[in-house]
Amino acid sequence: MHNNNWLDFFLTAAAEAGTILTRQQGELFLRYMQEMLDWNKTTNITRIIEPQAVAIKHFLDSILIARYIDTASKTIADVGSGAGLPGIPLAILDPASRIVLMESVGKKCAFLKHAVRTLGLSNVEVYNGRAESWPEPGSFDLAVSRAIASLEGCSAVCRPLIKRQGAIVCMKGRLPVDEIAGLQKRKNPGFAIDSHSYSLPEHAGERSLVILRTCFT
């Protein structure tokens, strides 16, 4: 797909999903994709390599978070960032946010640092380590992850990262009804649980968000 065609496709898809991006933002996403796919030739960064699929399954999927929880001007931990998802898309979406990409695999961190430099994202920091080792507990408004398989695991890893009135955003495929029920059955789960389901365009699959907001009694 030609660069301009890809850019038009992505900007249109984002607008139809309710997110208006500037051409300049779209060009940052295009450059990000180019760098990701180039590095992927020698480093295992992503299994999704078709440009249109990257636009929908990586980028649009990431920025759709902002439809369901306020990410503007927030401090956000992207836990298990991998290729920088959803952290880098959220950083492009809102330059006033502060994003920390947490990734323990050195080769992936090398890519993340390269991408942040290349895209000029002054609001992004790369942390080469496990989220459990982050030295400043309670420092984020939001912790977001699409890398941790279970809600139980996501809540356990992310909870120490967030502020007293923070939230954890778990990105999932189909809505994990049984896992949500399991959390709700706890005597004192410590979270108010909110969930959303939606379909990606171009028949790209079902997605859901489970948002765990800290609550204290």
The phi and psi torsions of 191 (rounded to 5 degrees) equal -135, 145
Q: Is residue 10 part of a domain?
A: no
Q: Is residue 185 part of a domain?
A: yes
Residues with Cβ within 8 Å of 67's Cβ and at least 6 positions away in sequence, in order, are 17, 18, 19
Q: What is the CATH number of the domain that holds 168?
A: 3.40.50.150
Instruction: Give the total number of structural domains in the chain.
Output: 1
- Say what angle helices 3-16 and 23-39 make with each other, to 10 degrees: 120
Q: Is residue 3 part of a domain?
A: no
Range of 60's domain? 56-214
Q: Is residue 68 part of a domain?
A: yes
pLDDT classification of 188: cutoffs 50, 70, 90: low
Q: Is residue 30 part of a domain?
A: no
pTM recorded for the entire structure: 0.94
Predicted pLDDT of residue 51: 96
Mean pLDDT of 149-175: 92
Q: How many CA atoms lie less than 13 Å away from 166 in the CB half-sphere?
A: 22
Q: Is residue 189 part of a domain?
A: yes
Q: Is residue 20 part of a domain?
A: no
**Which has the minimum average pLDDT: 85-89, 135-139, 211-215?**
211-215
pLDDT tens figures, 59-83? 999 999 999 999 999 999 999 999 9
Q: Is residue 120 part of a domain?
A: yes
